[in-house]
Amino acid sequence: MQKAISKSVVLAGVLAAAALGTSGCASHQFVRDQVGVAEEHTTRVEGTAKEALDRANAAHKLAEGKFLYEMVLSDDSVKFPVNQHALSPEAQQRLSELVTKLKSENHNVYLEIQGHTDSRGSSAYNDTLGQERAEAVRKYLNQQGVALNRMSVISYGKDVPVASNDTPEGRAQNRRVVIIVLS
């Protein structure tokens, strides 16, 4: 009887060890599968990031040496009132002078029109207002004969201040449109 109990205990131990070994292999296989999935995802992300960096570097090479000059609409005679995107008569005059200059130079230029705001208001609101300011300039320039396909607009909202937003004067300077002229 003692011998039968010993055989049963040994058999139970062997079965338990086999069960643990089998479950351990399944767990190891699961981990290996998950690591493989993670490695595959990482490779895809690294590839996408590399492609984006390559595109950015190519764009930088194209733009290199192409900057001609910039014009800023924010000085004392041309300011955007708070929460406004309409062009003042002074701003229209400055833009008309720019169009005359562009026509006299007879260059095939490209204009990047950047809209900016002060820091008051939400980011979403300021992004929209900056876009509206840049679009107002683009529309006016188009009415003066600048082709739409030679202009792009972008809003920086409140993200790129040129002065402190702690004073009314500084906020006024930040409510601006910058026109970058590229060849």
69 - beta bridge partners? Answer: 181
Distance linking the first and last C-alpha atoms of the chain: 100
pLDDT tier for residue 61 given thresholds of 50, 70 and 90: low
- The conformation of residue 88, written as its DSSP 8-state character, comes to P
Structure confidence by residue, pLDDT tens digits, 140-164: 999 999 999 999 999 999 999 999 9
Instruction: Say whether pLDDT at 47 is over 70.
Output: no
In the prediction, which pLDDT does 9 show? 52
Instruction: Say whether pLDDT at 40 is over 80.
Output: no
Query: Domain residues of the chain, as ranges?
Result: 1-64, 67-182
Q: What is the phi/psi pair of residue 70, to 5°?
A: -135, 155
- Are 71 and 98 spatial neighbours (Cβ–Cβ below 8 Å)? yes
Strands 151-157 vs 110-116: parallel, antiparallel or unpaired: parallel
Q: Is 37 helix (H, G, I), strand (E, B) or coil?
A: helix
Structure confidence by residue, pLDDT tens digits, 102-140: 888 877 889 999 999 999 999 999 999 999 999 999 999
In the prediction, which pLDDT does 65 show? 45
In the prediction, which pLDDT does 16 show? 53
Look at the pTM and tell me if it is higher than 0.85: no
CATH superfamily, region 67-182: OmpA-like domain (3.30.1330.60)
